[in-house]
Chain A
């Protein structure tokens, strides 16, 4: 089977659909100024408080990524009051970001106290106990970067937590927690892989988004 069949060209694409896809991506990732100019340039209407919300979300992530988890929590409470209440996992993850910050700045005694007061109340549920033990183990090392738990200190970990927070806030505001763009790409990849499986003997390489983008 031909990988790029000619009947692609028979599929029409609506401009406004494309605009929505791009916009949803920009909104999701808080590119407020870009959203404004894009909306203006394509003639789309955006409600005013929409942009405010984006700004607020942006602030929250920046705080969290920098390591100021407590401020991030405060802002989240303001924007979406009962979000953290109903999302214990997220709450725990955010608090532990602060803990990790303290450990990184070698403020071990403070970290211990913080853990005792803020994190142990989660300990009533078994799954948090294990997570808690992971974090507590960091305290035992003079050089936590060299411990088996070093990934907890990394930027990737913070990014992950921030991502979850973003999705939660969006969901809370009844907005889609995954952008249309994401979903479309995911769908395409899966479909292409299935097709390739069926026709593997035809010698086509497996689908890779990078290659596709590079033409």
Chain B
């Protein structure tokens, strides 16, 4: 209908053209024609009815709604004049005049009037009208009580509220307010703390939430829509790995690869044989590694990201296959292959206890989240539970674990996981004493649990890594491929900001990184000269990754920008300064 539009000045049409959305989350740009083709705009506008005018390239945005939420946003930002001006200029009022009258009546306390106006607003649902009337009369009741007009309040209750009430409970609650049960001097003192009525603006807000959005535009609607778009962009961003929450509205969010650790920052050479396992502590301040050289090492991560040796833990007579940090990171467990489990104090490096069982060897270890118990897989296929003092508390016999198996415990201590058969992972519920099983079609070599306890990452012989959802129904969610595994046990892990990435070692001496959501391989990191057995992503610093290799070294990986920083610092130091032994700039 051209009627309305013809009356608008030409400049207004031009303004619309410039102000339209220039992009949308799906990435396709609106190729917005220049000012001169306001004819096109006119044509689009002419296509639709008055109230149904649409704007935007897809024709799904109703003009009236669009302007109204902008007006609402202006008002809530405090720009009253601008808001009013826009209403006037666009000819689109934020609220109908009936609604305006209603709002004023509420704020003025004109209860009777507001209940009448309520009927003329155009609500179709009788129960909404009833609920809104109830809220208004309830406010009247409480305001009368607060003003000590108890008899009037009683009258309101009997004559106005009771006929409305569906529920006798509501009436009961209200009438119990007629007398005050408090012991304080109630005569004549209704100070601020004792007021029972809410503020009128708050009442208005509650009414707004009750009434349908077509009658009263909801608060902060524009902000909500923008936030939705930003969330979609961030979720679609494959390289998103930063801690900061800022996103710009000017362009679609897309991180570059520079947020993913890709350069070696340090090479740690304290082990004398293959390094089989490593793991960062929960607070990201320590790294523990274990090796075929029968020792484990606790490394310290300094505030600027430099890693240095803290304690070398000797005592095992067999190679150390894995370590486990207590929840508070004060203690570390290490497991000698088919031997014993040792508990170490992190601060002093002292061995606190040795756990062993006569006649059998222990093969894996894990802490209970409350730090009171220690779990361990045994080479007779059972899983044992010990108290800190070394007394065995429980033993689950039967096919619970294999000689080579990881052991994971959920952070609420309820479930324990281990590889029970070559192709299956057992999830044991300690309280319910029930079991669930993940069945694979190939042999499983290792697995790890996500921080939110909902997913398991499983490494298979066939060079695939599978991601399983174990929250509720068990189902396969994703597969990751590309790395090499033929002979050894290779471990992978979750990592990065919001654990949005998967990292794995590989027999081709590289570290592989995938984007968890899309399955896309986004990084291969060369540098080691032997098979990379295990990787661990710092849980607190999404830009730090550590890898353990058969070449006897541990590499710390970081961002390219950190590497450049490092190089600059070294140039300053190299004139007679000493550099930490484990640090060199070669990648």
Q: Contact check: which of B175, B181, B183 meets A139 at CB < 8 Å?
A: B175
Q: Using CB atoms, name the residue of chain A closest to B158.
A: A142
Q: Contact check: which of A109, A134, A147 meets B154 at CB < 8 Å?
A: A109
Q: Is the CB of A137 within 8 A of B154?
A: no
**Interface size counted on chain B using CB atoms at 8 A:** 19
Q: At the interface with chain A, which of B166-174, B222-230, B388-396, B419-427? A: B166-174
Q: Contact check: which of B159, B178, B179, B180 meets A142 at CB < 8 Å?
A: B159
B residues in contact with A183, CB < 8 Å: none
Q: How far is the CA of A142 from the CA of B164 in the complex (A)?
A: 13
Q: Using CB atoms, name the residue of chain B closest to A142.
A: B158
Main secondary structure of the interface of B (DSSP, over half): helix
A49 at the interface (CB under 8 A from B): no
Q: Using CB atoms, name the residue of chain B closest to A133.
A: B176
Q: How far is the CA of A148 from the CA of B167 in the complex (A)?
A: 10
Chain A to chain B contacts (Cβ below 8 Å), 5 pairs: A132-B181, A136-B179, A140-B175, A141-B171, A142-B162
A129 at the interface (CB under 8 A from B): yes
Q: How far is the CB of B170 from chain A (nearest CB, A)?
A: 10
| CB within 8 Å for A129 and B181 given contacts A108-B154, A112-B154, A140-B157 | yes
A42 at the interface (CB under 8 A from B): no
- Name A's B-contacting residues (CB within 8 A): 108-109, 112, 115-116, 119-120, 123-124, 129, 132-134, 136-142, 147-148
Q: A132-B181, A139-B154 are in contact. List 13 more A-B contacts (CB 8 A).
A: A108-B154, A115-B179, A116-B180, A120-B179, A120-B181, A124-B181, A136-B172, A136-B178, A138-B175, A139-B175, A140-B162, A141-B171, A142-B158
Q: Using CB atoms, name the residue of chain B closest to A111.
A: B154
Q: How far is the CA of A112 from the CA of B162 in the complex (A)?
A: 17
Q: How far is the CA of A136 from the CA of B177 in the complex (A)?
A: 9
B151 at the interface (CB under 8 A from A): yes
Q: How far is the CB of A139 from chain B (nearest CB, A)?
A: 5
Q: Contact check: which of B154, B168, B175, B179 meets A119 at CB < 8 Å?
A: B179
A residues in contact with B154, CB < 8 Å: 108-109, 112, 139
Q: How far is the CA of A116 from the CA of B175 in the complex (A)?
A: 12
Q: Contact check: which of A112, A133, A138, A147 meets B151 at CB < 8 Å?
A: A112
B461 at the interface (CB under 8 A from A): no
Question: Which 9 interchain pairs have the tightest Cβ spacing?
Answer: A123-B181, A137-B172, A136-B175, A140-B175, A140-B171, A133-B176, A116-B179, A148-B168, A120-B179
Q: How far is the CB of B520 from chain A (nearest CB, A)?
A: 63
B residues in contact with A141, CB < 8 Å: 158, 162, 171
Q: Using CB atoms, name the residue of chain A closest to B173.
A: A133
Q: Is the CB of B178 within 8 A of A112?
A: yes
Interface residues of B in 172-225 (CB under 8 A from A): 172, 174-176, 178-181, 183
Q: Contact check: which of A129, A132, A140, A147 meets B161 at CB < 8 Å?
A: A140
| CB within 8 Å for A137 and B171 given contacts A120-B180, A124-B183, A142-B162 | yes
Q: How far is the CB of A107 from chain B (nearest CB, A)?
A: 12
Q: How far is the CA of A74 from the CA of B161 in the complex (A)?
A: 38
Q: Is the CB of B183 within 8 A of A137?
A: no
Q: How far is the CB of A119 from chain B (nearest CB, A)?
A: 7
Q: Contact check: which of B161, B175, B181 meets A137 at CB < 8 Å?
A: B175
B150 at the interface (CB under 8 A from A): yes
| CB within 8 Å for A132 and B158 given contacts A112-B150, A137-B171 | no
A residues in contact with B179, CB < 8 Å: 112, 115-116, 119-120, 123, 132, 136
Q: How far is the CA of A132 from the CA of B175 in the complex (A)?
A: 10
B residues in contact with A134, CB < 8 Å: 172
Between A133, A137, A148, the greatest number of chain B beta carbons within 10 A of the residue's beta carbon is seen for A137
Q: How far is the CB of B322 from chain A (nearest CB, A)?
A: 57
Q: Using CB atoms, name the residue of chain B closest to A124.
A: B183
Q: How far is the CB of A150 from chain B (nearest CB, A)?
A: 11
Q: How far is the CA of A140 from the CA of B150 in the complex (A)?
A: 13
Q: How far is the CA of A60 from the CA of B256 in the complex (A)?
A: 93
A residues in contact with B180, CB < 8 Å: 116, 120
Q: Using CB atoms, name the residue of chain B closest to A117.
A: B179
Interface residues of B in 308-355 (CB under 8 A from A): none
Q: How far is the CB of A63 from chain B (nearest CB, A)?
A: 26
Q: How far is the CB of B398 from chain A (nearest CB, A)?
A: 52
Q: How far is the CA of A132 from the CA of B172 in the complex (A)?
A: 10
Q: How far is the CA of A141 from the CA of B158 in the complex (A)?
A: 5
Q: Using CB atoms, name the residue of chain A closest to B162.
A: A140
Q: How far is the CB of B186 from chain A (nearest CB, A)?
A: 9
Q: How far is the CA of A123 from the CA of B182 in the complex (A)?
A: 8
Q: Contact check: which of B168, B176, B183 meets A147 at CB < 8 Å?
A: B168
B residues in contact with A133, CB < 8 Å: 172, 175-176
A residues in contact with B181, CB < 8 Å: 120, 123-124, 129, 132
